[in-house]
Structure 1
């Protein structure tokens, strides 16, 4: 392997990718689970609109979605001006990288979790739990979550895998700044751009090994279910 693999720039990109994926995973659980449960139980217009926007990264080009987020969060955007007054800056920061990873992976977590929550068997057992006197929160953690755990875990793996390979949104929102917002996937792009193909190949092999590990875990979960 090329000794350049251990350069500070590459070590930074690997560390930033790990941090962004780990933070995105926590956000998937904190925000994605309630959203999936809401979509599975509500047919309101608000729920459908929220589901549409969450699913958008699956059907809309990432580079175009990143541009839309840049317009929204940039200095001239409606949310960017509020950040200016609060003394905050999201665009071209590591926060933007984390946001990009979260946005890209969220639909791959929400959709499987929503499908699991809509299973007729789970809904019937939830109703039985409520009849027996359990509240909605207790029912969710003692009945719904254990029954849907495989789908939730599979969705988490897919979402984190997607987050780790995100390029388009991250490039537009984070800027691909060396030593600041260059993730592992963006560093592969940078290596190819400057003609360092050995280094790009090494990084691709690293990502491929992670992808294979995720595939084997997903395959095992599918066989168990």
Structure 2
């Protein structure tokens, strides 16, 4: 069996996890980022700090508490019981929940920065022309924030692909179910299969480099337009 055939289930699972996580983060992160950018509530600082916590929190800490929350005795176990299961841990659903929480700042912060850069005058013009808040967002803010959406999508996807600590804690190493590429490298190292680990690691380094380059290119293009 070739290496590609051997790790294909992990590649497919990693891509699927990153896609689902990124879509959920963009959908739910948009209103959160908009609120953080435009609200004058006293809670903005606390909510922003909560969103940014994964940037400094060890992944195993977040994974540990998620493991408890998603386990049989936590809220995740109760939800799983509605569908005939016992736990959301060690499942694809659990990986998605963990990935969304851990990658949250990598999507929300670029979106927040993009929304903060939207001129208030343009929104006020839209309001005076009779546009609702949603119409002003859809026709004015969202198009102007397009570079922020591109950056958020690239970073959210790439960060999910590279996750290790959280997915290991709540997903373990179940082939075809929770074994993603980062776990596959760890698995090969444990088996002293250095060649296979080198190939996967090199591929992920190349992917990381292209991701960072794409992010810089988006930022540079935005600055040139401004």
What residue in structure 2 maps to residue 163 of structure 1? 160
Q: Is the 8 A contact 2:67 2:89 kept in 1?
A: yes
Match of 2:198, SS state, is helix
Question: Which residue of 121, 134, 137 maps to 1:137?
Answer: 134
- Please tell me whether the aligned partners of residues 13 and 176 of structure 2 are also in contact (alpha carbons under 8 angstroms): no
Q: CA RMSD in A?
A: 1.8
User: TM-score, normalised on structure 1?
Assistant: 0.90
Q: Please name the residue that 2:195 is paired with.
A: 198
Taking the aligned partners of 1:148 and 1:135, their CA distance within structure 2 comes to: 18
On the 8 A contact 1:100/1:173 being kept in 2, the answer is yes
Query: Take 1:220 and 1:115, find their aligned partners in 2: how far apart are those partners?
Result: 17
In 1, the alpha carbon distance for the partners of 2:140 and 2:214 equals: 24
**Structure 2 unmatched runs, 5+:** none
Question: 1:4–1:199: 8 Å Cα contact kept in structure 2?
Answer: no
Distance in 2, matches of 1:222 and 1:207, equals 23
CA contact (8 A) 2:123 2:140 kept: yes
Measure the CA separation in 1 of the matches of 2:104 and 2:134: 23
> 1:45 and 1:94 mapped to 2: Cα distance?
37
**TM superposition score normalised by structure 2:** 0.90
Alignment of 1:1-225 (within 5 A): 4-8=2-6, 10-44=7-41, 47-88=44-85, 89-119=87-117, 121-225=118-222
Deviations 1:86-128 (A, max 9, x none): 4244210111222222222221110111122122x53221112
Residue correspondences, number: 221
Kept after mapping to 1: 8 A contact 2:36/2:48: yes
By how many angstroms is 1:4 displaced? Answer: 4.0
Going from structure 1 to structure 2, the CA distance change for 1:216 and 1:78 (only over 3 Å counts) comes to closer
Offset of residue 77 of structure 1: 1.7
